[in-house]
Structure 1
Amino acid sequence: MFSRKDWGSGSDGEQFTETLSRLKREGASVLVVGSVRADQRQNVCRRLLGQATVQPRRRVLVSTTGDLHDVSHLVDADVNTSDTLKLVSYATQARSTAASDVGANPTETDSPSLEASPTTTTALADLGIAISSAIETLESEADGLAPAELRVGINSLVPLLEEYGVERVFKFVHLTNGRTRDADGMIHYHLPMDRDSDVVSVLAPLFDIIVELREQSGDFQERWSINDGDQSSGWISIDQS
């Protein structure tokens, strides 16, 4: 994701890089926060999904908006097939009902031009099961996954929080993080709220890494924190080109 020089020099920078490397090997959970433009979120998401590396990756992309176009553009279609990519779509009960009223599948017209076929769910428990099943399938097809080979991306926690509340989403995240860590994988979620908001404060203990995004006078910046802020990268300018 980043090299040692991105964190600066000195023992603190080296310690930060070493901790990140260890988390990648052992499996890690990441919460991306901050209300920024879509292209900045996409940039960090693609890096967390391992798009900028040559190492083999197997990915689970999860849309919580019922629109798979929200996640399909995060991966390169020419290198992702059904044995390396699993798509899961969650549609709220209200959206699912509205779609059935007009006789359409909520994701049927939104499906990306990728080989993988999506699994559609309309309940939080089923979403967790679908993600776990997707990971299990990737493990089976690969005959075991190497550390950091699995990457899971969930495009937004907002629809889940709006429908189920913080307590149930807390449990969902806890279980899903554990399943990903069992496979030595990395999972990340987006939550476009300030780092010091009440919701982020409640969910933050579930995560190994918090990534804050912001824009300062047209300058896109990130700050990565580990161990509840004990270790931090400081604000880093990110080229969006």
Structure 2
Amino acid sequence: MIGDNFPEALRGGDDTQSDYPADEDFQQFLTLLQQLKVGGCNLLVVGDPARSVFTRCSEYLFGDDDALRQRIFAVTDAPPESIVDRLPDPTAAPRPISDTTTVLNHAGPPRSVTAATNLNTEPALTGVTEVQIADPQLQGLQSNLIETIETTAWENNPIRPSEIRVGLDSLTPLIDHYPISVVKQFLQTTSTTVTQHDAMAHYILMKPYDHNLVQELSSEFDAVIELRSVDPEPNGYEAEQRWHVPSTGLTMDWLPL
């Protein structure tokens, strides 16, 4: 997974062996991952497993607990508790979570994400900045997302590569309510801001990889992460990931999530 220890995590540590062969495609893939981490990237996360698998993948993409990360959650239909699941362990985080986390709430009908978790005795989002976006149009989400990224970069200047982590969960309501051309324009504008600040953003779309919407949108992203559930009894794990790189035509093998 493209967390804080990639591409080393894909190679395997001192006591593990990578499932990938040491071939030209894999070396190209490792080089690409390093470039994405340094220069900023936009990733599409797709598949048809349970939402909990998407939450776990998103947690990895937001970065390790002990790494300093500025996390921006753009919420359309994600359950409030799933946001808590993606936050770092407060005892391991280098700074208070409330200082490094922003929630942009574009849910409809409007609901407070942080209040919902607090009512369920979840203290993790206490003090976290939540912006409830009043503009129901996509422009409202776009302008707030861009402003938050730019403000975060300015307030933490000099910002380090991949320090800003953005997650949008999910694209489904946007696709349901707006023409695909409007969604593409939103993605192009937002992704430009992400890369300008060497940030890492992931966008969740709970559709199979071969779905026409995924194929329509894949060219807007640096890579597509495909997820699937597997039988845990013979495998020892419950989900797998496979990376696709549209610009190069690369598709890697399945790996445990």
Per the TM alignment, residue 173 of structure 1 is displaced from its structure 2 partner at its CA by: 1.1
Q: For 2:144 and 2:199, how far apart are their aligned partners in 1? A: 16
Taking structure 2 as the reference length, the TM-score comes to 0.80
In structure 2, the partner of 1:42 is 55
Match of 2:213 among 194, 199, 224: 199
Instruction: Kindly indicate whether the alpha-carbon contact (under 8 Å) linking 2:74 and 2:103 is maintained by their aligned counterparts in 1.
Output: yes
Instruction: Kindly indicate whether the alpha-carbon contact (under 8 Å) linking 1:212 and 1:224 is maintained by their aligned counterparts in 2.
Output: yes
In structure 1, the partner of 2:25 is 12
Instruction: Kindly indicate whether the alpha-carbon contact (under 8 Å) linking 1:63 and 1:89 is maintained by their aligned counterparts in 2.
Output: yes
Query: What is the correspondence of 1:79-90 to structure 2 with a 5 Å cutoff?
Result: 79=93, 80-90=96-106
In the alignment, structure 2 segments of 5+ residues that lack a partner are: 3-8, 13-17, 233-237
Per the TM alignment, residue 182 of structure 1 is displaced from its structure 2 partner at its CA by: 0.7
Bigger Cα displacement from structure 2, 180-189 vs 76-85: 76-85
1:138-176 deviation per Cα after TM superposition (whole angstroms, max 9, x unaligned): 112212311111110011111111112322111111111
Query: What is the correspondence of 1:73-84 to structure 2 with a 5 Å cutoff?
Result: 73-76=85-88, 78=90, 79=93, 80-84=96-100
In structure 1, the partner of 2:6 is none
Identity fraction in percent: 25
Instruction: Kindly indicate whether the alpha-carbon contact (under 8 Å) linking 1:151 and 1:187 is maintained by their aligned counterparts in 2.
Output: yes
Instruction: Kindly indicate whether the alpha-carbon contact (under 8 Å) linking 2:72 and 2:103 is maintained by their aligned counterparts in 1.
Output: yes
Structure showing greater relative contact order (alpha-carbon pairs closer than 8 Å, 6 or more residues apart) = 1
Compared CA separation, residues 86 and 3, structure 1 to 2 (3 A):
same
Per the TM alignment, residue 7 of structure 1 is displaced from its structure 2 partner at its CA by: 5.5
Q: For 1:3 and 1:108, how far apart are their aligned partners in 2? A: 35
Match of 2:163 among 136, 149, 167: 149
In structure 1, the partner of 2:201 is 187
Query: What is the correspondence of 1:1-241 to structure 2 with a 5 Å cutoff?
Result: 1=2, 2-5=9-12, 6=18, 8-10=20-22, 11-51=24-64, 54-65=66-77, 68-76=80-88, 78=90, 79=93, 80-92=96-108, 95-96=109-110, 106-107=112-113, 109-111=115-117, 113=123, 114=125, 115-121=127-133, 122-218=136-232, 219-228=238-247, 230-238=249-257
Compared CA separation, residues 88 and 111, structure 1 to 2 (3 A):
farther
Compared CA separation, residues 226 and 176, structure 1 to 2 (3 A):
same
Instruction: Kindly indicate whether the alpha-carbon contact (under 8 Å) linking 2:55 and 2:82 is maintained by their aligned counterparts in 1.
Output: no
What is the aligned-residue RMSD (CA, Å)?
A: 2.1
Q: How many residues align?
A: 227
Per the TM alignment, residue 76 of structure 1 is displaced from its structure 2 partner at its CA by: 2.3
Q: For 1:187 and 1:195, how far apart are their aligned partners in 2? A: 19
Per the TM alignment, residue 3 of structure 1 is displaced from its structure 2 partner at its CA by: 3.0
Taking structure 1 as the reference length, the TM-score comes to 0.85
Per the TM alignment, residue 65 of structure 1 is displaced from its structure 2 partner at its CA by: 2.1
In the alignment, structure 1 segments of 5+ residues that lack a partner are: 97-104
> Could you say what secondary structure the match of 1:59 adopts?
strand
Compared CA separation, residues 237 and 81, structure 1 to 2 (3 A):
closer
Instruction: Kindly indicate whether the alpha-carbon contact (under 8 Å) linking 1:66 and 1:106 is maintained by their aligned counterparts in 2.
Output: no
Compared CA separation, residues 7 and 131, structure 1 to 2 (3 A):
farther
